[in-house]
Amino acid sequence: MNAVAAQRWNFWGGIITALTLVWAILWAFPLYWGVISSLKPDDEVVRPYIELWPETPTLENYVSALTTTQIGAWYVNSVAVAVGVTVITIFISMLCGYAISQLRFPGRIALWWLILASFMVPTSALIINHFVLVANLGLLNSWAGIMLPQLIHPVIIIVYKQFFDQVPKDFREAAVMDNASEFGILFKIYMPMNWGVTTALSIVCFIWTWNAFLWPFLSVTRTEMMTITVGITQVNDAFGVYYARQLSAAVLAGLPVALAYLFFQRRVTEAITLSAGIKG
Amino acid sequence: MLRNSRTERLVALVLVAPFLAIYLLAFVYPTVQMFRISFTDAPLIGAGQWVGLDNYLRLDNDPMFRRAVWNTAYFVLMTVVPGTFIALLIALGVSRLKGRFQSIVLALFFLPYILPVSVVYLIWDWTLNFQFGIAMHVLDWLGIPRVPVFKSRVWFLPAVAGVTIWWTAGFSILLFLAGLRSIPAEIYEAAALDNSTRWTTFRRITWPLLWPITSLVFTIQLILQLKIFDQVYLFSIGGRPNDNMVLVYYVFQKAFQQNQGGRAAAVAVTLFVLVVVVSVLQFQLLRFAERRRR
């Protein structure tokens, strides 16, 4: 490569980098704008010109969102449902993934195909019958009712199976020789070896459940039982035209997942790539 | 060993049982029920009379169903193709950056994906607000007349498609980045030695080697967007849901607002079949791509 060509290469490279940066800032701007607007007093929010920073920053919108709506209860509901779904899903999926990976039993192949096939089923087509089922169980407007249809994430079983498949067979054979129980083998050998996957999957499972909209929206009719994702969209009347208060409620709803992502960025991206690569 | 294999079976049963129980209750049973009630005139809750294929035959002459199919197809077209393309462009830009700088820029693109749909809705409803939205100030400044985006029949679906691309691009970007990382650096070094231009390098190396990821992103997006509901529902609040009808919304309306469980189930089965067909195609496509890679 001669000098002129190299220079041109670097010049265009610089342009592309600059464009990417500008694009990234524009991309994230609505998020910034939402947060900034939520920190403005009512009269500033509706000014007919653009102010990129509040003149008198205030938390009054947050105070009012917290005191005039049931956002506290929604928070509790969201945390309970998301933690419940995550713990149960991770636990049952790990057990099932371990069994399929390490044990030989009749129906193993059939079960594996059943799990693979369930990828194809769109759960949003099942809303009618989920509703009938949960209503018949008397679980509408309850945490258990919001959780039940969300407990099935075939992808988590598949990821666990693949990770357990990678553990060398010697570990298991040695443990069997030592007369270790099957549960002992799972909890003392296989689980500690895969803590990384377990944390990564738990974080994304929590985020998925926190963000779920359609089912929590259908299965809850009482305002105090709503999850925060649904709650903040269902009480527009309470806010009237107070955009800033609505936005402060949105910030409160998005904060936990945004923080979870920013703290565990590497884990989250790892888990998401894992779950997608396998979806194929 | 004989005794061992018996305990092994027993242990396997115990380990598989919790998942299997929930799976049968919350997945297999509702799926079977969906098919069953689609042949009856059942309300949302309660039994109905067997009506054979009547619910399906009605769909043929149902203008609202046609609109739902058409709008869903239109929405899929507007999100999947541009969405994949934009995500690829962003991934190419981000992949050039290094270290800490790269993860900050990636986070800016990725953050929307991590947020709940209702937060995305509130942010964009505010940004595009007809009276006070910042986007309208920009339109004023450009001398373009303001548009009540989410109240307009023409602009509703394109706008929701745009918001959806913004919301979900992060996921596709991640997959593209993983794909770009797996292309060996030596290939690019060889191309640079051959004085290959940026465009030729992309066309001859990056694009063909990235093809399996591109088709994966494309089909995942396709399946995801066929199931569009949340955004359309939210942005239609106080607007005209009937003009913006999509398939899942129609299931919701028939079942939960008009109390026609059987008819709603027929629409749900249609969606179900559509998604399964696309998924099978995707699976075949990937198997084909994998075989070619080996």
What confidence score (pLDDT) does residue A2 get? 55
Question: Minimal Cα distance from A148: which residue of B?
Answer: B26
SS3 readout for A115-146: HHHHHHCCHHHHHHHHHHHHHHCCCCCCHHHH
Structural tokens at position A171: 């570990």
Least confident of B124-128, B195-199, B217-221, B255-259: B195-199
Q: What single-letter amino acid sits at A227?
A: T
Of how many residues is chain A composed? 280
SS3 label, residue A56 = coil
pLDDT at A9 (0 to 100): 63
Nearest beta carbon to residue A118 from set B11, B27, B223: B27
Treating both helix axes as pointing N-terminal to C-terminal, what angle do A3-38 and A243-263 enclose, rounded to 10 degrees? Answer: 130
Closest partner residue to B118 among A20, A119, A213, by Cβ?
Answer: A213
Spatial neighbors of A73 by CB under 8 A, at least 6 apart, are: A224, A225, A226
Q: Among B175, B177, B149, B176, which Cα is nearest to B163's?
A: B149
Of the pLDDT bands very low, low, confident and very high (cuts 50, 70, 90), residue B40 is very high
Q: Nearest-CA neighbor of B84 among B190, B141, B168, B192?
A: B168
Residue A1 confidence class, pLDDT cut points 50, 70, 90: very low
| Three-class DSSP category at A75 | helix
> What is the pLDDT at residue A56?
85
Q: Do B27 and A121 touch (CB under 8 A)?
A: yes
Which of B158, B176, B178 minimizes the C-alpha distance to B166? Answer: B158
Helix pair angle (B261-293, A127-136), 10° resolution: 120
Q: Please tell me chain B's helix, strand, coil percentages from 3-state DSSP, rounded to the nearest 5.
A: 80, 0, 20
What ranges do the domains of chain A cover? 3-62, 69-279
Q: What is the pLDDT, as a whole number, of residue A279? A: 39
Q: Which CATH architecture has domain A69-279?
A: Orthogonal Bundle (1.10)
Separation CA A100–CA A167 (nearest Å): 14
Q: Does B24 touch chain A (CB under 8 A)?
A: no
Cβ–Cβ below 8 Å for B11 and A99:
yes
Q: Which of B6, B84, B123 to mutate to test the interface with A (most CBs of A within 10 A)?
A: B123
> Would you call B62 helix, strand, or coil by DSSP?
coil
Which pLDDT does position B57 carry in this prediction?
92
Query: Cα separation of A8 and B191, whole Å?
Result: 16
What is the rounded distance in angstroms from the CA atom of residue A13 to the CA atom of residue A17? 6
Q: How many helices (H) and strands (E) does chain A have?
A: 17, 0
The token duo for A176 is 């069997």
Give contacts of B97 with chain A, Cβ < 8 Å.
Answer: 17, 20
β-bridge mates for residue B50, sequence order: B40
Model confidence at B18, pLDDT cuts 50, 70, 90, reads: very high
Contact A33 B30 (CB under 8 A): no
Across residues B125-138, what is the average pLDDT? Answer: 87
Whether B86 and chain A come into contact, CB under 8 Å, resolves to: no
| Euclidean distance between CA atoms B160 and B274, whole angstroms | 22
Residues B262-280: pLDDT tens digits?
A: 999 999 999 999 999 988 8
Question: pLDDT at position B29, please?
Answer: 95
What is the per-residue pLDDT across B93-117, written as a single tens digit (0 to 9) for each? 999 888 889 999 999 999 999 999 9
- Check if B18 contacts A (Cβ < 8 Å): yes
The C-alpha angle with vertex B107 and arms to B215 and B79, in degrees rounded to 5, equals 35
So what's the pLDDT on residue B294? 53
pLDDT in tens, A119-156: 778 889 999 999 999 999 999 999 999 999 999 999 99
Report helix, strand or coil for B73: helix
Q: A23, B93: Cβ pair inside 8 Å?
A: yes
C-beta atoms surrounding B85 within 10 Å: 14
B214-233 residues touching A, CB cutoff 8 A: 216, 220, 223, 226-227, 229-230
Has residue A206 got a pLDDT over 90?
yes
Enter the tokens of residue B6. Answer: 């018996």
